[in-house]
Structure 1
Amino acid sequence: MATSRFIKDPGLTARMTLTMFLLGALFVGLVVALMYAFQGYSVLIAVIAIAMAFWQWWSSDKVAMRAMRAREVTPQEAPELHGMIDRLCALADMPKPRVGVSDLPVPNAFATGRSPDRAVVCVTTGILQTLEAEELEAVLAHELSHVAHRDVLVMTVASSAGIAAGLLLRFTQFGGMGRSRNNSGLPVVLVALLGSLVVYAVSFLLLRLLSRYRELSADRAGAYLTLKPAALGSALQKISGEVAAIPQRDLRAGSAASALCIVPALRGGLSGLVATHPPLQQRLEQLARIQAELSRPTG
């Protein structure tokens, strides 16, 4: 975990480590199985697998920014936003990330990037118009904690396993069709299909579990950094309320990066095991407990 003044979260570190280990093992197992099944294409499969993981890691910030129609802004273009992030980074003792603004009416914010030095914290024009200064600062603290804890990097790299499983499945089907002329392709395709589906399903569920926990962890870290958990709770309620009032067609513009956002980009999103975010009530209850703790007299 990166060094900063954000509170440490051993639970997040353990979950990120376990998720990376399990998905890495699944990914390697899938590649080895496909290399064995398609020996003539073994080198190509290995190169494709490595290239996909590297590209996902290297271009994560650009992909997320493009998905959210965001652009990087200078201190001259957004002085108040930069000022807030400057103060929070000084308070957290961490490097300042790049700052972006997305021209979307949906109130939201996200952080992305392959490392703290390459990170971007981005807000939409909708959230700038919706929140008060104290609430926006609380949201930015939440996003900066994602950067400090490096969970953005882990989520990005870990998602490579599921993406690779889908792409390698396509390759398997293509290679299997060639073998089917010798009546040996069908079993190979079925085995590869099963393996790819297992990797994708496990990747999907593990990432959802990690995503929900990382949001609760970022809420905690941001609240303790600013000492204003009520401001973050108010911001979450306002954002969720605004999202509920925005037409669904407008929400889809930001749905590609929904898992990275502080609240789900789509109204009435997935729930339970497949949700990317914990329920709003659970987040508010956690913040209320922190507020009560901070309000308790000391000494």
Structure 2
Amino acid sequence: MNFMRTTILIAGMTALFMGVGYLVGGTGGMGIAFVVALGMNAFAYWNSDKMVLSMQGARELDPRSAPQLYDLTARLAENAGIPMPRLYLMDSAQPNAFATGRSPDKGVVAITRGLVQNLSMDEVGAVIAHELAHIKNRDSLTMTITATLAGAISMLAQFGLFFGGRNNDSPVGFIGTIAMVILAPIAAMLVQMAVSRTREYQADKDGALICRDPLALASALGKITAMARRTPNMAAERAPAMAHMYIANPLSGQRMDNLFATHPNPANRIAALEAMAGEISGGGGGATPRAQVYVDPDRPRTTPNWRTPGTRPRDAGEHRGPWG
């Protein structure tokens, strides 16, 4: 259902682009705008991982600096059937995470210090599984396509204002041109946001299957949403255009699942995951067994030592997840 919805939304944006292009400059104007937008977004697609990680001040983790977390991610990636992504840590107290990379072979998962400090290990694993789902589903490519079309539509609308005001033979007339300049970019933005919300629902579903624990992801989303509202993410505030990349909205506002929201309503996402848990447990609505497939029962469980140097130590007795 989510795949079909994404396909329909992208097809609708493509039709909008072709319609606006034809009204502005026929096939020639349509092609020029598309090539320009494609070039801009191709550059962003090939370099987005480097740009966003640099802007977020993220540093790469490896098996020596974060053995337990690295092992957890590797096991989840194996469950997902994709290569081990590069793993990064962002120095933010707000619990959050995002994925980037132009293909599963170039996947990147970035998590915040607040995520590993405030969530249990199974919840952290569920969040990573959600991000791995984005990588597996090539959502970076999907969002690049929608960004290309949205940018092309905005360019065409601006061309329409320039040429429409000087061409009395414009098929939509001067008033129609003004309306197109205003409404076409808004329509493209709404479709782009709808695609983003659809991909989040799909990543929730696929991430829950990867970690085999929908309730862990539901619990993580509840904690992340509650803490994000009172813990600012300054890196995200400085680059609000990247907010849609995170598992939960890192910015203030956008509390409702409305047309202008980049993320679905957390309550709706949690309800969907709880329903999924009920289906897995046999439809009785009971809790899903915590499979924790990323834990090798033959290996000893030790206290995790992947916490960032200099970060707040945990209080005695504080819950740290399945490793104690």
The one-character-per-residue Cα deviations of 1:87-124 (angstroms, maximum 9, x if unpaired) are 00111221222222222222111112222222221112
SS state at 1:110 partner:
strand
Give 2:9's aligned residue: 19
Cα gap change, 1:51/1:106 in structure 2, threshold over 3 Å: closer, same or farther?
same
Cα gap change, 1:29/1:116 in structure 2, threshold over 3 Å: closer, same or farther?
farther
Q: Alignment partner for residue 158 of structure 1, among 108, 132, 146?
A: 146
Rounded Cα–Cα distance in structure 2 between residues aligned with 1:220 and 1:47: 35
Rounded Cα–Cα distance in structure 2 between residues aligned with 1:86 and 1:255: 30
Q: Do the aligned residues in 2 keep the contact of 1:161 with 1:199 (CA within 8 Å)?
A: no
Q: Displacement, 1:49?
A: 3.3
Give 1:97's aligned residue: 85
Q: TM-score, normalised by structure 1?
A: 0.79
The one-character-per-residue Cα deviations of 1:199-255 (angstroms, maximum 9, x if unpaired) are 322222222222222222222222222222221122112111211222586762463
Rounded Cα–Cα distance in structure 2 between residues aligned with 1:297 and 1:197: 48
Q: Displacement, 1:296?
A: 3.2
Alignment of 1:160-179 (within 5 A): 160-170=148-158, 175-176=162-163
Is 1:108–2:96 an aligned residue pair? yes
Amino acid corresponding to residue 243 of structure 1 in structure 2: A
Query: Where in structure 2 are there 5+ consecutive unaligned residues?
Result: 285-324
Amino acid corresponding to residue 15 of structure 2 in structure 1: A
Give 1:197's aligned residue: 182
CA RMSD of aligned residues (A): 3.3
Q: Displacement, 1:80?
A: 2.9
Rounded Cα–Cα distance in structure 1 between residues aligned with 2:253 and 2:150: 24
Q: Do the aligned residues in 1 keep the contact of 2:33 with 2:152 (CA within 8 Å)?
A: no
SS state at 2:62 partner:
coil
Alignment of 1:1-299 (within 5 A): 11-36=1-26, 45=33, 47-170=35-158, 175-176=162-163, 193-247=178-232, 252-253=237-238, 255-269=240-254, 271=256, 272-296=258-282
Q: Displacement, 1:184?
A: 9.1
Q: TM-score, normalised by structure 2?
A: 0.73
Rounded Cα–Cα distance in structure 1 between residues aligned with 2:131 and 2:70: 14
The one-character-per-residue Cα deviations of 1:140-176 (angstroms, maximum 9, x if unpaired) are 0111111112223212220222233334555665x55
Q: Do the aligned residues in 1 keep the contact of 2:201 with 2:264 (CA within 8 Å)?
A: yes
The one-character-per-residue Cα deviations of 1:258-280 (angstroms, maximum 9, x if unpaired) are 11111111133152222222222
Rounded Cα–Cα distance in structure 2 between residues aligned with 1:63 and 1:188: 42
Rounded Cα–Cα distance in structure 2 between residues aligned with 1:295 and 1:42: 52
Cα gap change, 1:79/1:193 in structure 2, threshold over 3 Å: closer, same or farther?
farther
Instruction: Report the structure, 1 or 2, having the larger helix content.
Output: 1
Q: Do the aligned residues in 1 keep the contact of 2:94 with 2:233 (CA within 8 Å)?
A: no
Q: Displacement, 1:126?
A: 1.9
Rounded Cα–Cα distance in structure 1 between residues aligned with 2:10 and 2:236: 31
| Paired-residue identity, % | 33
Q: How many residues align?
A: 282
Rounded Cα–Cα distance in structure 2 between residues aligned with 1:294 and 1:49: 44
Rounded Cα–Cα distance in structure 2 between residues aligned with 1:188 and 1:77: 63
Cα gap change, 1:124/1:249 in structure 2, threshold over 3 Å: closer, same or farther?
closer
The one-character-per-residue Cα deviations of 1:272-299 (angstroms, maximum 9, x if unpaired) are 222222222222222222222333399x
Cα gap change, 1:195/1:290 in structure 2, threshold over 3 Å: closer, same or farther?
same
Q: Do the aligned residues in 2 keep the contact of 1:205 with 1:273 (CA within 8 Å)?
A: yes
Amino acid corresponding to residue 54 of structure 1 in structure 2: A
Q: Do the aligned residues in 2 keep the contact of 1:68 with 1:257 (CA within 8 Å)?
A: no
SS state at 1:59 partner:
helix
